[in-house]
Each structure stands twice: as structure tokens, then as C-alpha cells.
Structure 1
């Protein structure tokens, strides 16, 4: 066993980084009868005076672990821990996004969710959300019966190449349209506000309950909804004759400012995967991909 940091890839240079450290537990015996080992995963907060201090991953309440360097047998830096918002499952993230449709009617089908809107024609508001196992026998047949009873074509929102994707395709379902898969993106509200450039055109805001609409004259508009600490954005549209003037950013700026005042900390939006201009715009604002999904429909 070496006390030299060169025996692994740890050392003073990893202070402030997330690391995994394997250490010996002196005086203890492992399950096989040999020396006992223990792993610590967290942020290295100090290295020196013969010890390495690691704050374990968690909610911040964990007690830092002081590890004698001489007991370290392996270790390396690891990628930063994803933010809490990125660890939310696709199904849960999609459930958070229901607030964008104020008249949405929903019915649980195990862990799936049947969605219907009497006014909106968007697929997000008129499809079964099936991004995890339903846990219900006969779920497929019940989806078909539900939407046929409403006089609607059955549509399912599924993760690409998932078991649910295969389930519906095995029943002859096909892509609902020629659209690319949809990208569900997330960002921190504060981070988006910091990235907005100064001097944007002014936008007018109209608030109706948990929904808000921002407009820059007749040229640009967008809608936002706040539910708890999540804020969603949709229909960010700019007249083609007025593009490249910062109007989309002006609309986003007005809406994100309102969302922040409402206490939102997480922002989400959804963009078709082939909309390169929109994806580039939102990437500059700090949005990152959380998941992609597609719509399948019963064959006509």
C-alpha cells in the first residue's frame, strides 16, 4: 500500500472535484477474510497533512469523511453529479408539464396517464403518456377503448426504443406523423435569466391564473405556466418577417421573469429534434436535453 498520490489519480489537484475513493479500514476484516474496504463517493474538500476529506453525495447533511491518504488503495475523479432536476424520470418530467394545458382531463392507467383536452388539438394534450411500464394488465386494450370511446384516434407518447415503444409497434402502431422525435429540455430559471442579453425589446405580459402570455406587438408571442417550482414554456413563435431581432428572447425574458417571481426554479420546454435554430437558441440560454420521445398512433 502506497501513501503516494501517484499510486492513484488523486492528489491536491482534485480538491473541489467529485471523486470516488476506495480505502482500507484498518483493523477490520472483509467478507472474504481479507482486509475490509470501503468506497466513498463525493466532493473532495481538502487534501493535505496526510488526509483526504470527502463530502459524500447527498442533500448536504452528510458528515465529511476524513480518509488517511496512506489507506487509499484506489481513486479517481468522476463526472459531476447531475442536478436534481435532471434525475427526475421522463414520466415524472412529463407529468410536471401538464400545467401548460389548463383544461386537460387526465385519468391514470396504472403508471400511464390518459390525457384529453376539449379545446387543444396538441398531441401532448390528447395521448396516453406511456414512458414507463403501466403495471396494469390489459393496459394496451384499455388505451384503445378509451380513445375510441371519445371518437379520437389513439396516440401514445413513448420513449424511443423502449419496451412501451415495442409494445405499441407490435400491435401495428406507426409514427403518428413525419415529425422528428421531440426533445424535452430543462434549465435552471436563474441560469436562464443570467444568460439573457441586455437591451431586449419590450414585451407585454398578460397573466391568467397560473398561465401567462407575453407578446411583442403582433410579431412574437409565447405562453408559460407555473406549477410549484417548475415553469413550462410553449408556442414561442416569431413572425418570419421579424426574425433575428431578438424577439424570441424578449418573449422568453418576460416569461422567465414572471416565472421567477412566482417562485419557479426549474424551466422546461419541448422542441422538435430537427429544429436546429430553436435548439441552438435554447442551448445558449442554458437548456439541456433531459429525454427524447415520439408519438405512435394506431394505423389508419
Structure 2
């Protein structure tokens, strides 16, 4: 937060007038500073008008208070994902996947009460996915009572697929990303399809996002290994979040695998925090 003088104005006591600007300091030069507020364009302030400044902790996203089920239901809101209710559980199915079959679009969200005994619910899930030529999988909150009960029925964890659900304020993440240019192979290409957007940087970097109300979900952000640590992921994120802001999004969320340390480190610096963690369980064979 920066407190500055307002030239030509008097305060309520007859002395100098001051005003405060809350934002991220993006530049500090010999004669001025540049502050990016939560909304609007960056503001340049002459140094001789700056009275004081202090760090202010960012406000956490109010969405941190939502339930695990409500947060995870945002996945199924994406276009092209069919859903079937099983009590409070939700069977998700992607009829025409592009590329690999993704777990979160082709598994049952097993959070809440399925409305029938767990063994019967698990069997319905198994039949649902077998009938659609998909491996029967249930997404559960990590270390939950539901996970324990399904394991007793013989369901086992899908290796390497545990993930954190990260959540944050879209405006704060955009401010932290900043607006620096990236020396990439090409300008970003933005392809909008209704409530979804895909951003690419040549053949090296790609990311997707989907809007649901004021929530923006980021998916499948990837960078070719030889081109990592060059700011390309940040450049794609900047475009995705900019589009989301134009659609009215205020909260951004995404899944990150628990063993993806570089991605977790990046998102931590951007202010995204873990809301919960989840695991995919697959049905016993036979």
C-alpha cells in the first residue's frame, strides 16, 4: 500500500491531502514507481509525492470456505462433460475426449452421500463405466472415510494420480503474474469455444480454461521440457486469466499432481493455495 500526496488539494484539517493506493509495486525508478491496483491499469506515481508505503497481505479467496464437493463440481460444468447423479455422487463422462482420456472428466466424484449402501453405490459406478468402455474410477478426498471404506471393498489407488486442488483470487494471481513480455517462439494464439478457451505459444506451450459463473478452471497447462523455466507457462496463464477476467471470473482453480514440484512451486509464488487433496481409486479386477 502506498500513501501519496494529492497536489493542489487540502485535507480535512487544512493540511496536505493524502490518498492510499493498494496494489502490487511493479517498478521502482529514480523518479517514480509503478503500482498495479487490483482492477484497472497500472498507476505511475512520482517519488516526490510518495509519503509512505507498507506491505499488506493479500486477501484470501472467499472460495476457500466452500465444501470439497462444491469445489469439485466445477469440473463437470465444462462443456462436453456429461453427468449422472448417484445421490450426492456424480458420474462424469466425456463422450468424445480429445487426446488422452482424462481422469477428472471420466470418473465418479465420490464426495457426499450416494443415497444407498456404499457397496451398492460402488457396483453402480463400476457398471456405469464398464458399459462406456472406461476404467471404473472414483475420485475421493484424500484420507477420507469414503476412501477407507472403498479400500475395504478392494478399490485401490491409481498410481501417480494424487492431486491438490488449488484455489485463489484471480485478480491477485493476475497482479502477481505482471505484464512482462516473453521472448517466445510466437505470439499467443487464443481460441475461444463458448465457455472454454485454449491458448498456445507455437508448438511449445499450451493451456486450457473453462468458465463457470465467476470460477475459472485452468486445465492441461504444459510446456515442452526443453523450453521450461523461460516464462512460457506464465505467458499462457496470463492470457487464460485475462480471458477469464473478461468473462467476470473472480476465482481461479486447478488440479496439480502432488509430485509435480515445479508446478506447485510456481503456483505457490502466484498465491494459489491448497483447498483439499484428492485421489482416484479404481475398481478391483474380476
- Give TM class, smaller chain: 0.7 to 0.9
1:265 has 2:245 as partner: no
Say if 1:81 and 1:243 are closer, same or farther in 2 by CA, change over 3 A.
closer
**Where do residues 251-262 of structure 1 align in structure 2 (5 Å cutoff)?**
251-262=236-247
1:126 has 2:106 as partner: yes
1:144 has 2:121 as partner: no
1:186 has 2:167 as partner: yes
CA contact (8 A) 1:225 1:233 kept: yes
3-state SS in 2 of match to 1:118: coil
1:147, CA displacement in angstroms?
1.9
1:299, CA displacement in angstroms?
2.3
**Where do residues 206-285 of structure 1 align in structure 2 (5 Å cutoff)?**
206-285=191-270
Say if 1:98 and 1:281 are closer, same or farther in 2 by CA, change over 3 A.
same
Q: Deviation string for 1:120-159 (max 9, x for gaps)? A: 2101111110022323343222222222222332100011
1:170 has 2:152 as partner: yes
2: CA distance between counterparts of 1:207 and 1:160? Answer: 34
Count residues in correspondence.
219
1: CA distance between counterparts of 2:132 and 2:202? Answer: 38
2: CA distance between counterparts of 1:136 and 1:291? Answer: 25
Give 1 or 2 for the bigger CA radius of gyration. Answer: 1
Say if 1:180 and 1:149 are closer, same or farther in 2 by CA, change over 3 A.
closer
CA contact (8 A) 1:200 1:249 kept: no
2: CA distance between counterparts of 1:257 and 1:128? Answer: 31
Q: TM-score, normalised by structure 1?
A: 0.69
Pick the aligned partner of 1:103 from 56, 80, 96. Answer: 80
CA contact (8 A) 1:158 1:295 kept: yes
The structure whose RCO (Cα within 8 Å, separation 6+) is larger is 2
2:30 matched residue in structure 1: none
2: CA distance between counterparts of 1:82 and 1:267? Answer: 12
Say if 1:145 and 1:210 are closer, same or farther in 2 by CA, change over 3 A.
same
Q: TM-score, normalised by structure 2?
A: 0.73
1:154 matched residue in structure 2: 136
2:92 matched residue in structure 1: 115
1:81, CA displacement in angstroms?
10
2: CA distance between counterparts of 1:81 and 1:111? Answer: 32
2: CA distance between counterparts of 1:160 and 1:97? Answer: 17
2: CA distance between counterparts of 1:219 and 1:151? Answer: 32
